[in-house]
Amino acid sequence: MASLPPGADSDQLLVEENGSTRTLIMNRPKQLNALSSAMIMGLLRCFTAYEKDDKVKLLIMKGKGRAFCAGGDVAAVVRAINNGSWKYGADFFRNEFLLNYIIATYSKPQVSLLAGIVMGGGAGVSLHGRFRVTTENTVFAMPETALGLFPDIGASYFLSRLPGFYGEYVALAGARLDGAEMHACGLATHFVQLNRLPLLEESLKKVDTSNPFAVCGIIDQFSHQPSLKENSSLNRLEIINKCFSKRTVEEIISALEQEASNSADEWVAATIQSLKKASPTSLKISLRSIREGRTQTVGECLRREYRMVCHVMRGDFSRDFFEGCRAILVDKDRNPKWMPPRLEQVHDEAVEQYFSRINDPQWEDLNLPARRSHGRNIESKL
């Protein structure tokens, strides 16, 4: 194990040095590697230091245990807000989003080995990178609407670039995708069998170049084209495009209910149920976020999402984020009481507020450094 750049918390983030390669290992296996503030700051220091270090050519990201990373540690954020101020949450998300931006615009290749669970903040530290490798045990989701939040970490950038209106479906329904689905829709660049992952890693550790084509060539030697399962949501793109292209959440649900009345497809019923269990406020701000993300750079998406998340934490219109965390993460009764409880009670003016500046003299918009790149291309294999 190598020493971390100064100030990084070495318990929760481990670094291996092999020649020109640095392997960053998220190390909170009992918490499914949920990103703590210390991990985010450690990763920021590593990415910043290694970009300037000519001896470092390639970064590998992985998780210890059965998860890559199950998301940001939002339970800790909520505890800190309840004990102090929403500003603690603002600092947490500011640093996380800055990390996402640096990864999205990084000049050296990053290979993320997405074995196990990849959700929320875990997607933020991997899917913005150059190479994303899934396996047969990968489970991806952006489950934020069930938590009273919205898909953040720049998700409005990468989800809005998926085929058709698949991004709206993944965002609103909190849909779980497997490794083959991530590969097919473009969230992943490669699919490698789990038992071949250690061999791939050993080959990558011998790399002495930052040439992305050379790195891609190595991963190609271990990867193959997986086939989609019969019940994959990607086999229902026609229905998804028909329903999730609608202008409002109410119209999306109505279109799905129309589909349900014409077919006995369990997938349609399950999708309707997911939407009806989610926070109405979250659904509305998430839909608008994805739609705006389609025409924005990754930096513009992150700046807008930072405004949104600060409004969520202040709880001016709705405290659904705190209620969702209580019901899903703390008490675990899985029975949140959303306020307002119905979609029609979430008016356009309320949605609009989430996209405005925070009315607080001490608050600042997310300030991102000037970088050469504007984010990755998401290439569907469909």
pLDDT tens by residue, 57-97: 999 999 999 999 999 998 888 888 888 888 889 999 999 99
- At 279-331, the pLDDT tens digits run 999 999 999 999 999 999 999 999 999 999 999 999 989 999 999 999 998 88
Report pLDDT for 372.
80
Question: Could you give the maximum distance between any two Cα atoms of the chain, in Å?
Answer: 61
Per-residue confidence band for 194, with pLDDT thresholds at 50, 70 and 90: very high
**pLDDT of 10 above 80:** no
**pLDDT of 272 above 60:** yes
Active-site residue flag, 186: no
Separation between Cα atoms, residue 92 and residue 70, nearest integer Å: 16
Per-residue confidence band for 264, with pLDDT thresholds at 50, 70 and 90: confident
Active-site residue flag, 323: no
Which residue among 42, 63, 121, 174 is the active-site one? 121
Mean of the per-residue pLDDT values for the chain?
A: 94
Active-site residue flag, 292: no
Q: Give strand ranges (E) for the chain.
A: 13-18, 21-26, 58-63, 67-69, 110-114, 117-119, 131-134, 139-141, 177-178, 190-191
Please tell me the pTM assigned to this model: 0.95
Which residue among 144, 168, 201, 259 is the active-site one? 144
Report pLDDT for 4.
58
Which residue among 71, 72, 293, 375 is the active-site one? 72
Which residue among 152, 168, 201, 320 is the active-site one? 152
Instruction: Name residue 113's beta-bridge partners.
Output: 133
- At 32-44, the pLDDT tens digits run 999 999 999 999 9
**pLDDT of 2 above 60:** no
Dihedral angle of Cα 245, 246, 250, 255, to the nearest 10 degrees: -80
Provide the 8-state DSSP code for 228: P
Which of 27-31, 73-77, 119-123 is least confident? 73-77
Residue 84: count of CB within 10 angstroms of its CB? 10
Closest among 344, 233, 327, 226 to 284, alpha carbons compared: 344
Closest among 92, 120, 146 to 320, alpha carbons compared: 146
Write the class of the CATH domain 13-355: alpha beta
**pLDDT of 186 above 60:** yes
Active-site residue flag, 63: no
What are the backbone angles phi and psi of residue 327, rounded to the nearest 5°? -75, -35
